[in-house]
Amino acid sequence: MSEAIIVTDAVRIPPSALTVHAVRASGPGGQNVNKVATKIDLRVDLAAVEGLSDAARVRLGELARHRLDADGRLVVTSQATRNQARNLEDARAKLAGLVRASLVPPRRRVKTAPPVSARRRRLTGKKRRAAVKRWRSRPGEND
């Protein structure tokens, strides 16, 4: 079995939460593609990830919502190379990156208003454009 994925000192993914399948890759590769299963399909039980806070677990669910299978497991695939072992390392790195991204809380948006001068410039431009259109119309139409 594979070893645990260490994301940070506090967060790790135990081997019991991982399911690895090797399948045939798509795309170019000639006869090699038809006979060698090099694509890695890594499935992870998100509930078994150790050391995640509740907020980080919710963020991870949001980040991974399009990658969940019918059982609610996160699916990470890799077919970047023609080597199964390298694809496994790539899939494990992708998974660690996704969990690491869920650990960072999003920055709060600070509401700002446009400056008064910008609002004034915008309205002046609109009035100028309206005047140009008004002068293009026939006399008596714009009453």
Is the per-residue pLDDT at 73 higher than 80? yes
Q: Report the pLDDT value the prediction gives residue 6, as an integer from 0 to 100.
A: 80
**For the chain, how many helices (H) and strands (E)?**
4, 5
Domain that holds residue 75: 5-103
CATH number, domain containing residue 34: 3.30.160.20
Asked, for residue 118, whether it belongs to a domain, the answer is: no
Q: Report the pLDDT value the prediction gives residue 143, as an integer from 0 to 100.
A: 57
- Let me know: does 50 contact 8? Beta carbons within 8 Å: no
Distance CA(96)–CA(89), nearest Å, equals 10
Asked, for residue 77, whether it belongs to a domain, the answer is: yes
Is the per-residue pLDDT at 34 higher than 80? no
Asked, for residue 76, whether it belongs to a domain, the answer is: yes
| Per-chain mean pLDDT for the chain | 85
Distance CA(121)–CA(8), nearest Å, equals 51
- Let me know: does 111 contact 118? Beta carbons within 8 Å: no
For residue 98, the one-letter residue type is: L
Distance CA(118)–CA(36), nearest Å, equals 62
The total number of structural domains that make up the chain: 1
Asked, for residue 74, whether it belongs to a domain, the answer is: yes
Asked, for residue 138, whether it belongs to a domain, the answer is: no
Asked, for residue 79, whether it belongs to a domain, the answer is: yes
Asked, for residue 139, whether it belongs to a domain, the answer is: no
Asked, for residue 142, whether it belongs to a domain, the answer is: no
Reported as a pLDDT band with limits 50, 70 and 90, residue 125 is: very high
CB atoms inside a 10 Å sphere around CB 108: 6
**What is the rounded average pLDDT of the residues 78-100?**
88
Reported as a pLDDT band with limits 50, 70 and 90, residue 142 is: low
Distance CA(13)–CA(4), nearest Å, equals 6
* pTM of full prediction above 0.85: no
